[in-house]
């Protein structure tokens, strides 16, 4: 019973010591931000007016295809998430690059993939 109490106390001490060592660092003083150069914000273009009824709408052209070089740890799902914002569109990239990728699981690091415009 004494051994169990000792081990319990020792565990609590270790947990308390570990929590103290993981405290966040002190925030930097704001003086550096105040004395430095003023931050320049990018100008936002004015919103384009909505077309009036009966006026034909003009859709902007689709962006041209881009390329991406496969990095260690990349997956088609991750690449689709990066370029399209939706990982489920990985099949679009795979179908477009069948000549470069033998199978979805066999992508090689350094392979240059063509990324078509988002469907």
Question: What are the tens digits of pLDDT across the range 55-83?
Answer: 666 666 656 789 999 999 999 999 999 99
Mean pLDDT to the nearest integer, 82-101: 95
Of 13-22, 55-64, 80-89, highest mean pLDDT: 80-89
Residue 108 domain-assigned (yes or no):
yes
Q: Which two tokens stand for residue 18?
A: 């570990």
Whole-model pTM: value is 0.48
φ, ψ at 69 (rounded to 5°): -95, 125
Q: What is the CATH number of the domain that holds 72?
A: 3.10.350.10
Residue 33 domain-assigned (yes or no):
no
| pLDDT for 37 beyond 70 | no
Full domain range(s) for residue 104: 66-115
Mean pLDDT to the nearest integer, 85-100: 95
Residue 48 domain-assigned (yes or no):
no
């Amino acid at each position: 019973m004494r051994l169990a109490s000792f081990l319990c106390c020792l565990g609590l001490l270790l947990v308390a010591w570990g929590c103290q060592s993981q405290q966040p660092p002190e925030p930097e003083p704001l003086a550096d931000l105040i004395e430095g150069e003023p931050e320049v914000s990018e100008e936002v273009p004015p919103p384009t007016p909505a077309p009036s009824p009966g006026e034909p709408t003009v859709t902007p052209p689709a962006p041209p295809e881009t390329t991406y070089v496969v990095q260690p740890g990349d997956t088609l799902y991750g690449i689709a998430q990066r370029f399209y914002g939706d990982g489920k569109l990985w099949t679009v990239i795979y179908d477009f690059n069948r000549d470069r990728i033998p199978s979805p699981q066999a992508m090689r690091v350094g392979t240059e993939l063509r990324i078509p415009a988002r469907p």
